[in-house]
């Protein structure tokens, strides 16, 4: 029996389907979630979620969030998430450039703007790195 996996971001459902294992970027490191896992709730780091099913692997970026695990379903609520195959690298590079330029100009007392720009920089870096490293068409994994 597989485990159900749903990845939901603030503006859309990024993935829903069955998985043999879901690998999450938990705060204490990578966590592999198999079917019938004990219930748990964890916050997620900026990082990579791997959904493996029937010998194929799909890879997603998540810009932080939470995961709720139940024996039959993993629900990932992410601030932003994308399948690496759908990442627009040029858009992420433009977002990174904008964030870097704005950070160079932001006033130190404007903490909210600085934090928002730093978060935008981390999102864009994550997208660029993940697209470069993991995008390669169909992926397989060893059982």
Residues that bind ligand ATP (CB under 6 A): 9, 11-12, 80, 82, 86-88, 91-92, 95, 120, 123, 127
Locate 14 and state its tokens.
Answer: 């990024």
Q: Which is nearer to ligand ATP, 70 or 125 (CB)?
A: 125
Give the N- to C-terminal CA distance of the chain in Å, as an integer. Answer: 16
CB-CB contact of 113 with 106 (8 Å): yes
Task: Provide, rounded to whole angstroms, the least separation between the CB of residue 65 and ligand ATP.
Answer: 12
Q: Which is nearer to ligand ATP, 52 or 123 (CB)?
A: 123
Q: Which is nearer to ligand ATP, 14 or 33 (CB)?
A: 14
Half-sphere exposure of 78 (CA within 13 A, CB side): 29
């Amino acid at each position: 029996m597989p485990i159900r996996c749903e990845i939901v971001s603030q503006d859309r459902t990024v993935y829903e389907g069955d998985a043999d294992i879901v690998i999450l970027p938990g705060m204490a490191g990578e966590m592999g979630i198999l079917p019938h896992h004990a219930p748990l709730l964890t916050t997620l780091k900026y990082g990579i979620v791997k959904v493996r099913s029937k010998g194929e692997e799909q890879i997603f970026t998540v810009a932080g969030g939470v995961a709720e695990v139940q024996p039959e379903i993993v629900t990932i609520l992410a601030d932003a998430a994308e399948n690496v195959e759908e990442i627009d690298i040029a858009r992420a590079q433009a977002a990174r450039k904008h964030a870097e330029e704005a950070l160079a100009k932001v006033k130190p007392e404007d903490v909210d703007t600085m934090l928002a720009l730093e978060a935008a920089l981390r999102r864009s870096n994550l997208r660029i790195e993940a697209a470069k490293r993991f995008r390669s068409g169909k992926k397989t994994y060893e059982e």
